[in-house]
Structure 1
Amino acid sequence: MTVGIGVGVAVLDQSTKWWAEHALSLGERVPILGDLLGLQLIYNPGAAFSLGTDATWIFTIISAVAVGVAIWFTLRVRTLSWAIVIGCLGGAAVSHLGDRLLRPPSVGQGHIVDFIAYGDWFIGNIADIFIVGGVVAVLILATTEHDRDTAEAPQ
């Protein structure tokens, strides 16, 4: 189930990126909710808020590690709630790793396709939504005694 969710998240993210590249003009903003939410295609070499634009290869390594961690947790997950969360985070990490490895300008230094503009704060994509939601869910699950006890790996 975790793998299926992860595949679904990765396919959804890559499909919407494909759509954005074919439907939007680079840099041009299309308002959806005035200035609050819009569509704007950019290629981000860095991380959130375009931080670390000169260190793209570091984000490739971080994405690869995140995929490895997701695989490790997938093999140990014991509850439905954790399976969903790990699937969401793993799928987003796989999608971002794919961008880093397969998109221009080069292998390992590919730029992430971002197209959801949140005011003047930042521009992201579907995988980013799953990452933020997944992190919030991890915090909730980790602080919930019942889920924490049942999500531990077998000894």
Structure 2
Amino acid sequence: MMYIIPILIILLDQLTKFWALNTLKGSEPIVLINEFLQFNFVKNYGAAFGIMKYQRMFFLVITILIVLGMIYYIKKYNNTKIMNYSLVMIIGGAIGNFIDRLRVGYVIDFIDVNFWGFYDFPVFNIADSFIVIGTILLVVLVLTNKHEVN
């Protein structure tokens, strides 16, 4: 089961990005909830919030190193199941964005959330969502010392 999760994340991520590329690119955004949620095609040449734009090779190399490090950590240490789930969520998301950078030279983002004009959240994708969820879970497990089997 642990190996299936990142594969499912990658498939879901790539299918939704394929849809976004073919449906949203060059088109008006699709509004789902007025002034809150829309699908809007964005090319992200950087990392989270568009930082470090045009550093494609850096992101490709660092993603490979981080994914290999996480796989090593999962195999080497006696982690709780939830710890391993958090790591494979991050791995699946990282590989999803890696594929974009390798294939098209940028990450395809399309989920656009705006909190009714109070805050316009940066556009993101399914891979980003799993990276964030996995990271939050990882931080909670480490801070509560619940990441290793006793």
TM above 0.5: yes
Q: 1:113 is matched by which residue type in structure 2?
A: I
Matched residues in 2 for 1:149 and 1:69: separation? 17
Calculate percent identity across the aligned residue pairs.
29
Q: What's 1:21 paired with?
A: 21
Q: What's 1:38 paired with?
A: 38
Contact 1:41/1:114, CA 8 A, preserved across alignment = yes
**Dislocated runs of 4+, deviation >3 Å:** none
Q: What's 1:78 paired with?
A: 79
Matched residues in 2 for 1:66 and 1:96: separation? 13
Matched residues in 2 for 1:53 and 1:29: separation? 23
Matched residues in 2 for 1:149 and 1:52: separation? 34
1:135 counterpart SS class = helix
Q: What's 1:148 paired with?
A: 147
Q: Which moved more, 1:67-76 or 1:39-48?
A: 67-76
Unpaired segments of 5 or more residues in structure 1? 104-109
Deviation string 1:20-54 (CA, Å, 9 cap, x unpaired) is 11222336322212122110011111111222213
Deviation string 1:92-119 (CA, Å, 9 cap, x unpaired) is 111111112222xxxxxx1111100122
Contact 1:45/1:53, CA 8 A, preserved across alignment = yes
2:40 counterpart SS class = strand
Q: 2:13 is matched by which residue type in structure 1?
A: D
RMSD: 1.8
Contact 1:31/1:39, CA 8 A, preserved across alignment = yes
Q: What TM-score results when the alignment is normalised by the length of structure 1? A: 0.83
Matched residues in 1 for 2:69 and 2:33: separation? 37
